[in-house]
Structure 1
Amino acid sequence: MNLTGLVAVSGKPGLYKLIGQNKSGFILESLDAQKSKLVVNMSTAKLASLEDITIYGEDEDLRLKDVFEAMKAFKGAVPEAKADGKDLRKFFFEVAPNHDETRVYASDIKKIVSWFHILKDLPIFSEEEQAVAEVQEVEVVEEEKPKATKAKEAKPKAEKAAKAPAKKATKKEA
């Protein structure tokens, strides 16, 4: 599952895809059928990347990505977000049995279920293998390039630095 670039905006329903940035904030595109674009101010809006979201667990926190994977693999039907809180809690214990019942509220579960229903129709669940392979290739290529360019850039700077004081010294002598 590839959650890269997907964010939730505080005070706004739904999920958004980060498509760019300008001087005043981030440019987002909604993941619903309308695909509306939105510019959020960096100083007033809070963005939460879905990759970074964790859920309180009894022993350790659970990653949202792992919970979504469990929801996808769930054999029964995933309830709607408007379902009864007790039904949602029962469902959530099946997909995330180690979550902390006292710190994970029914509203949190409703939000996670509604996000899952938005994402289940998108090709996000099948993107993982391609994205991970591409990221690994890009990291290898990027690691090699900066080392070579730094070495090339260092030589001209050192030569310029060596020549510059010599020129100044000759001007002072004259």
Structure 2
Amino acid sequence: MALDKILSIGGKPGLYRLLTQTRTGFVGESLLDGKRVTVGMRSNVSVLSEIAIYTLEEEVPLKEVFQKIKEKESGKKTAISHKAEKIELEEYFFEILPNYDEDRVYTSDIKKIVQWYNLLVENKITDFTSSDEEPVTSDEEE
């Protein structure tokens, strides 16, 4: 499953798999507990494939950051918890993305990235390179 079907919903913990769209929003399934939730159009929703991380030169797509974590951790969960101390999280993230913009990427962002990566690995969603290798046009028919 590609990251363009995985959502972060403002005010709700974890990540959600997009199941279907409705007239007034969409239905998502939690990756944490499998419960379904209906979300309206006014909710703050982010698609993981659209998120990027600031570096000193450019913005790096989140899927590339996840791929770097996957390579560092050999496809397993991270060695560090998202609840670790600020300095530990920053040191870990510096190993993953040495040129990240420390003024624009906050510790809370790093915590989310580590937590989301571990949640995706738990749900066996680890193919972060598929959209680069295959044409994406067939998925974007809207």
Which structure has more helix as a fraction of its residues? 1
CA contact (8 A) 2:55 2:100 kept: yes
Equivalent residue pairs, number:
137
Q: Tell which has more relative contact order, 1 or 2 (C-alpha 8 A, sep 6+).
A: 2
CA shift, 1:118, in A, is: 0.2
| Structure-to-structure mapping, 1:34-113, within 5 angstroms | 34-43=33-42, 45-75=43-73, 77-113=78-114
SS of 2:91's partner is: helix
Change (3 A) 1:133 1:65: closer
- Alpha-carbon RMSD across the aligned residues, in angstroms, is 2.6
Distance in structure 1 (CA, Å) of the matches to 2:96 and 2:111: 14
Q: Which amino acid aligns with 1:55?
A: I
The TM-score normalised by the length of structure 2 is 0.84
Mapped to 2, the partners of 1:39 and 1:20 lie a distance apart of 10
Partner of 1:3: 3
* Separation of aligned partners in 2, 1:75 and 1:17: 24
Relative to structure 1, the CA distance from residue 47 to residue 75 in structure 2 (aligned partners, 3 Å threshold; closer, same or farther) is closer
Secondary structure at the aligned position of 1:27 is classed as: strand
Distance in 2 separating the partners of 1:90 and 1:133: 34
Of all paired residues, the percent bearing the same amino acid is: 38
**Equivalent-residue separation in structure 2 for 1:117 and 1:94 (angstroms):** 17
The Cα shift of 1:125 comes to 1.7
Deviation for aligned residue 1:123: 2.8
Q: Does structure 2 conserve the Cα–Cα contact (< 8 Å) formed by 1:2 and 1:131?
A: no
Question: Where do 5+ consecutive residues of structure 1 fail to align?
Answer: 143-174
**Unmatched 5+ residue regions in structure 2?**
none
Cα distance in 2 between the residues matched to 1:67 and 1:8 = 17
Give 1 or 2 for the bigger CA radius of gyration: 1
2: distance between equivalents of 1:109 and 1:57? 13
Q: TM-score, normalized by length of structure 1? A: 0.70
Offset at 1:122? 2.5
Report which of the two has the higher share of strand: 2
Give the deviation of 1:36 after TM superposition. 0.3
How much does 1:126 deviate? 4.0
1:25 aligns with 2:30: no
> Corresponding residue for 1:12?
12
Q: 1:132 to 1:30 in 2, by over 3 A?
A: farther
Runs of 4 or more consecutive aligned structure 1 residues displaced over 3 Å after TM superposition: 126-136
